[in-house]
Amino acid sequence: MVVRASSHPLHLLRSLLRECTYLPDPAARTYFHQYILQRFRKHTQENQSAASDSVRITQLLRSARRGLSVLQRANNGELKHLQKVLMHTYGRSGKRRRELLAEVSQSDIPADQNALETVRNNAQNKASGFTPSTRLLALAKSHQKRPSAELGKSSIKRLSPKIPETNIWGRRFPECRARNMRRKWFAGLLEKIQPPLPRHEWDRLCALATGKQKIFPFEMPQRRSCLNASDSSALAKVASWRTGASPFYPKKDMIEQPHVLTSRFMRRLWARIFMQTPTMSQDLSGKEWRVEWGSVHDGRIQLKRATSPSTLSLFEGVDEKGIKQKSPKS
């Protein structure tokens, strides 16, 4: 059951750090522990001005309580919140994703003097801004070959913006308008891109998704009971929400039920995220980037061609593509 945290910042920090220790993913425990400490240290009194805004502090505490609720629901086995925690951990959303995108979007280092002059000329031209790097362009080309259903994002249609040379009056297209169109295209490209993970993290996620690295049964630390526990009437009221006994609250099938954290359940979540996660490496010459995507194949299921007469009789009148053949007219 989700317990409401205290409004005191120190109590809220301890509750958040304690909830991190219950997460079933080892990388998630480390990431959220560091993330929470970083967020609280950023807004300490030493780092703020003397005239601190009380409204801003109230908003931050409310955001921290929402984050605590997400962690509690994830540890209880609710699919939506647990998937959200894993997506933030492996850079599919949130701050980690923005950091990985900033790394892959860095401009290429000029190889020689001619390349340096080209960069200087492009910097002086206002319409040439927002040009993707070689690494980002290779990742975008690989994105186009992947189905959007596996990536969880819409497909990339264009690798370059469509900017006309002249306007409707036949005059030269304005540079400010061309720059705005390129900026809009570049922002849309970054919105659809799934940034690559470092190789060691990608290999660890692969081991978790395929079951090679086993962390279950996970020994969750024993939860401490609250000192000021709610009365029995409040607990009975919440229980009636779950069971649908009260006619004024949603029924049981309308409320998301928690899932038991098993190895099979976690492997499916890791596999879903692994299929959305690429990793990149350069070839020996250092000129081209290679993109490798995660894929999970279940070795327990192997399709074999039917050979026995009893099995072949089931597919009479059907060709190799599964289309029923028309019977000849008499």
pLDDT per residue as tens digits for the range 215-260 = 766 666 666 666 555 555 665 666 665 555 556 555 555 556 788 8
pLDDT at 25 over 80: yes
Residue 299: its pLDDT value, please? Answer: 42
275 beta partners: none
Residue 279, Cβ neighbours under 10 Å: how many?
19
Residues whose CB falls within 8 Å of the CB of residue 191, separated by 6 or more in sequence, listed in order: 153
Q: What is the mean pLDDT of residues 27-51?
A: 81
Tokens encoding 89: 């951990």
Q: What is the mean pLDDT of residues 320-325?
A: 72
What end-to-end distance do the CA atoms of the chain give, in Å? 71
Q: Rounded distance, CA 149 to CA 277, Å? A: 13
Please report, for residues 93, 139, 176, 189, 190, the alpha-carbon distance to residue 101 in angstroms, rounded to integers and kept in the order given.
Answer: 11, 11, 26, 11, 7
Residue 228: its pLDDT value, please? Answer: 58
Question: In this predicted structure, which of 13-17, 113-117, 284-288, 313-317 has the lowest mean pLDDT?
Answer: 113-117
Pairwise pLDDT comparison (147 vs 141), residue with the higher score: 141
pLDDT per residue as tens digits for the range 166-218 = 888 888 888 888 889 899 999 898 898 999 999 999 999 999 998 888 876 66
Task: Tell me which residue of 204, 224, 238, 223 sits closest to 28, measured CA to CA.
Answer: 204
pLDDT above 90 coverage of the chain, percent: 30
Domain boundaries, the chain: 104-192
pLDDT per residue as tens digits for the range 40-87 = 888 776 556 544 677 888 888 899 999 999 999 999 989 999 999 999
Pairwise pLDDT comparison (299 vs 184), residue with the higher score: 184
Residues whose CB falls within 8 Å of the CB of residue 17, separated by 6 or more in sequence, listed in order: 33, 36, 37
Taking phi over 0 as left and psi of -120 to 50 as alpha, with beta for the rest, 48 belongs to beta
φ, ψ (nearest 5 deg) of residue 166: -130, 160
